[in-house]
């Protein structure tokens, strides 16, 4: 394992995904020695005062970055968004209640499947027939729905909710791939969940933000570990939490804060996305794969007008140290994930590869 780092690659993986260089440096230091304890962060008690401080700061940072008041509880769980697909309805949806879902892709569809085990599920709108290339709009939301479930950003297809519906129904939202990427009006949301491994940290921890008035409306038996109340009462330490993934997420949230918070992230993300979409639209070899108005600022999906050239272009990306731009295996084409931690320089490098490709092959 005596590898030598020659040059840092530009990491366009969709997730687990790029983390800020300064975060990785601190994470590396903590695996050697954490907080001057003479021990690695990987081998200390989660009940030590040094680690308790990490748990506290993580929750505080999430609250501060998103502007959450005391109506919200912040939890750090495991099992990914895939576990929230069933935990959300299990905890929030009475068996006689109705949960409304909008189907915007792979992850929405999975959430819908799990929810139907717990109550009535109504799919208000879906763009499945057009292969999820856009976000449904102008659907009616029944005012008596228990909640409205949305997937804010669709990693696979490269679409994103530019805004959220105006409704009095609390929104339950899978924000796995765009959490902390922009300001949100938190008062619209009853539950927000996000697997960390896109914009927040490494794989292994799931952020869950729940508005307290959403809870205690179901009467089904819930295993202790699956009850949000358990983790609220115990500050996400009912059992041993995923300590290191939480620590790295805390470092990443600190980085977001130090770099101007979510508003500054949004401005930078907007700029990076425009740079890349402009090239996709201008370059005769490439085309976008989604509706222009629903384009994701996190996962930029595109294809080539001549699919036979895709392999050659992918090799050009690799040669320019742009890693992970292959489209999701269920979609094909290309996907450049340009989360918070991706520097503009990385996007510019990819754009240069595209320009260069056009010049050479034009």
Strands 299-304 and 286-288, sheet pairing: antiparallel
Q: Which is nearer to a copy of itself, 73 or 114 (CB)?
A: 114
Could you give the angle at which helices 49-66 and 243-258 cross, rounded to 10 degrees?
Answer: 40
Q: Which is nearer to a copy of itself, 33 or 311 (CB)?
A: 33
- 248 sits near a copy of itself (criterion: CB under 8 A): yes
Interaction with a copy of itself in 95-114: which residues (CB under 8 A)? 110, 113-114
Shortest distance, CB of residue 116 to a copy of itself, whole angstroms? Answer: 10
Known catalytic residue: 198?
yes
Exactly one of 97, 170, 241, 327 binds a copy of itself (CB under 8 A); which one? 241
- 18 sits near a copy of itself (criterion: CB under 8 A): yes
* DSSP-derived secondary structure letter, 326: B
Exactly one of 97, 119, 170, 202 binds a copy of itself (CB under 8 A); which one? 202
Exactly one of 67, 187, 238, 343 binds a copy of itself (CB under 8 A); which one? 238
Look up residue 247 and give its two tokens: 């620590």
Interaction with a copy of itself in 158-187: which residues (CB under 8 A)? none
# chain residues binding a copy of itself, by CB under 8 A? 75
Shortest distance, CB of residue 18 to a copy of itself, whole angstroms? Answer: 5
- 221 sits near a copy of itself (criterion: CB under 8 A): yes
Residue 190 near residue 169 (C-beta atoms within 8 A): no
Shortest distance, CB of residue 234 to a copy of itself, whole angstroms? Answer: 11
Catalytic residue among 103, 178, 198, 268: 198
Catalytic residue among 174, 178, 227, 294: 174
Interaction with a copy of itself in 64-83: which residues (CB under 8 A)? 78-83
Per DSSP, helices labelled H in the chain are: 21-32, 49-66, 80-92, 106-115, 228-233, 243-258, 261-282, 310-319, 344-361
- 40 sits near a copy of itself (criterion: CB under 8 A): yes
- 33 sits near a copy of itself (criterion: CB under 8 A): yes
- 343 sits near a copy of itself (criterion: CB under 8 A): no
Look up residue 207 and give its two tokens: 């952020």
Known catalytic residue: 233?
no
- 245 sits near a copy of itself (criterion: CB under 8 A): yes
Interaction with a copy of itself in 296-335: which residues (CB under 8 A)? 321, 323-324, 329
Choices 43-51, 144-152, 179-187, 288-296 (CB under 8 A): range interacting with a copy of itself: 43-51
Name 121's bridge partners. Answer: 99
Chain centroid, CA 150 distance in Å? 13
Look up residue 350 and give its two tokens: 């990819």
3-class DSSP assignment, residue 199 = coil
Q: Which of 122, 88, 152, 98 has its CA nearest to residue 296? A: 152
3-class DSSP assignment, residue 255 = helix
Residue 323 near residue 295 (C-beta atoms within 8 A): no
Known catalytic residue: 70?
no
3-class DSSP assignment, residue 341 = coil
3-class DSSP assignment, residue 305 = coil
3-class DSSP assignment, residue 130 = helix
Residues annotated as catalytic are 107, 174, 198
């Amino acid at each position: 394992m005596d590898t030598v780092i020659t040059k840092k690659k530009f990491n366009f993986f969709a997730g687990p995904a790029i983390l800020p260089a300064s975060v990785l440096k601190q994470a590396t230091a903590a695996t050697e020695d954490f907080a001057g304890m003479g021990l690695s962060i990987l081998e200390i008690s989660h009940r030590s005062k040094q680690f308790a401080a990490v748990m506290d700061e993580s929750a505080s940072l999430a609250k501060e970055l998103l502007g959450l008041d005391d109506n919200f509880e912040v939890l750090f769980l495991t099992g990914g968004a895939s576990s929230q697909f069933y935990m959300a309805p299990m905890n929030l949806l009475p068996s006689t209640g109705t949960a409304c879902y909008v189907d915007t892709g792979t992850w929405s569809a999975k959430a819908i499947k799990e929810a139907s085990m717990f109550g009535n599920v109504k799919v208000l709108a879906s763009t499945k027939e057009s292969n999820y290339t856009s976000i449904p709009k102008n659907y009616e939301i029944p005012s008596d729905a228990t909640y409205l479930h949305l997937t804010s950003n669709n990693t696979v297809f490269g679409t994103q909710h530019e805004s959220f519906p105006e409704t009095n129904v609390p929104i339950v939202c899978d924000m796995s791939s765009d959490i902390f990427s922009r300001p949100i009006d938190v008062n619209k949301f009853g539950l927000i969940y996000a697997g960390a491994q896109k914009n927040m940290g490494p794989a292994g921890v799931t952020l869950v933000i729940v508005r307290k008035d959403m809870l205690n409306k179901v009467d089904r038996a819930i295993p202790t570990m699956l009850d949000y109340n358990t983790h609220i009462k115990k500050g996400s330490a009912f059992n041993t939490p995923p300590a290191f993934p939480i620590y790295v997420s805390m470092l990443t949230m600190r980085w977001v804060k130090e770099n101007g918070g979510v508003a500054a992230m949004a401005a930078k993300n907007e700029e990076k996305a425009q740079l890349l979409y402009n090239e996709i639209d201008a370059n005769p070899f490439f085309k976008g794969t989604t509706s222009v108005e629903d384009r994701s600022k996190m996962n930029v999906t595109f294809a080539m007008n001549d699919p036979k050239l895709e392999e050659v272009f992918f090799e050009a990306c690799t040669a320019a140290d742009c890693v992970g731009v292959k489209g999701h295996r269920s979609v094909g084409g290309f996907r450049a994930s340009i989360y918070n931690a991706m520097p503009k320089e990385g996007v510019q490098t990819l754009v240069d590869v595209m320009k260069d490709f056009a010049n050479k092959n034009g």
